[in-house]
A and B are shown apart, each in its own frame.
Chain A
Amino acid sequence: MSQSYDRGLIEDFGRWTEFSAGMWAWIFHKFTGWVLIGYLFTHIAVLSTATVDGATYTQTLQGLESLLVVRFLEVGLLAVAVFHILNGVRLLFVDLGIGLESQDKAFYAALIVSAAITVASIPTFLMGAF
């Protein structure tokens, strides 16, 4: 529907504090989706420069892993990927018309499980980084 004038905070993202679970799920799904696409392109670009021979590959990876920021980004990447997968499963059920009345609970579950897996992964990713 069209708008005749700017109603400021009444419209859309000014109301983010009032979004429902389904809306947040949608926003996070879009966001994580774009992050994953961005990662995929970076991944291909970086690794294609490293696939010259074994030594270059090892050197590139060791160089990346020695950077603290890369370690943190890996944790972030896992969080993003896990949420995207879990919410993707939720959306699959939504598409199949199964359990739509508990879609909000499914979203909260996806958030909690993603958080738990991310926290559990921190020791692995950050081992020897400091």
Chain B
Amino acid sequence: MSTQITETETETETESTHQKRRLAEKHARADMRERAKADLSEAEESVKIKVFRYDPEVEGKKDPRFDTFRVPFTKGMTILDALIYARDHFDSSLTFRHSCRQAICGSDALFVNGRQRLGCKTQMSDLEWPVRIEPLPHAEVVKDLVVDMEHFYDQMESVEPFFQTNEIPSGELEEQRQTRENREKVKMSTRCIWCAACMSSCNIAAGDNEYLGPAAINKAYRFAMDEREGEEMKEHRLNIIEQEHGVWRCQTQFSCTVVCPKDIPLTEHIQELKREAVKSNLKFW
């Protein structure tokens, strides 16, 4: 009996603290909305964003739909800034990935006004208003703007995206140096931030789950072209990329090159690997 009484007591106690916390949060949200109202009346301009919403776990939100938010425009505002403002002031359930906010982490690739763009790198002023923000096409939506990246990571890993060589220098502490020319050659390909914008834009990858996709092939290029890995390793890398669902699936639509936020010439790299694959296989005898 006594235990039961204690339980109820604790329950009421926790409930009341929960209640307090909830009330505090509710007030904070109301404050935020008030502040947003003030911001909006103060701001010279406001921008409307239409955001894709979908939540398979909540009844009534299972149907994909668009929510419109009016956000005060500030100079230098990015898509991500607008989304953060909308989430903090209007709807805390609005879900999207972001981390570094400087186009390095590759978390916030979104489909903005009909094109894959990096939210933190895209200026609001460069776009046509109202701005339509959707999750990356050709990927499973987990919630709102968040897509499942598992498949993309699988493809990236399948090309062994790390430096490996059989030709280690003889001296114990000897450096493994790269020529300046070789560094220049792979320079652009090293810029990839794994944001999956290219993969999402690729029509072939959409229809062929096994296709490596632009990002993975670019990663393969970065190491296949690295002279320090040696001939033997290059052959191994070419074996991976010249398979049926490797480089040959690319039909040079240039969609990936157009959308890449780091300006990597993806199609050019894929084409060069195609030529390398031909060269390593063509024998005149």
Contacts and interface: CB of A to CB of B under 8 A. Distances in A.
Interface of A: 1-5, 7-8, 10-12, 15, 17-18, 20-23, 25-26, 91, 94-97, 100-101, 103-104
Interface in B96-125: 111, 114-115
B203 interface: yes
B134 A10 contact: yes
Interface stretch (B137-145, B168-176, B215-223): B137-145
Contact of B252 (A2, A4, A10, A91): A91
Nearest to A22: B254
9 contacts: A1-B205, A2-B140, A2-B209, A11-B138, A12-B137, A15-B114, A26-B252, A97-B271, A101-B265
Contact of B258 (A15, A20, A26, A95): A20
Given A10-B134, A18-B115, A26-B252, A1 B271 contact: no
Contacts of A7: 64, 137, 141
B251 interface: yes
B165 interface: no
A18 B258 CA distance: 12
Interface in B120-154: 134, 137-141, 151-152
Interface of B: 52, 56, 64, 111, 114-115, 134, 137-141, 151-152, 199-200, 203, 205-206, 209, 251-255, 257-258, 265, 267-268, 271-272, 274-275
A100 B268 contact: yes
A-B residue pairs, 7 tightest by C-beta: A22-B254, A18-B114, A26-B253, A1-B138, A4-B140, A20-B258, A100-B268
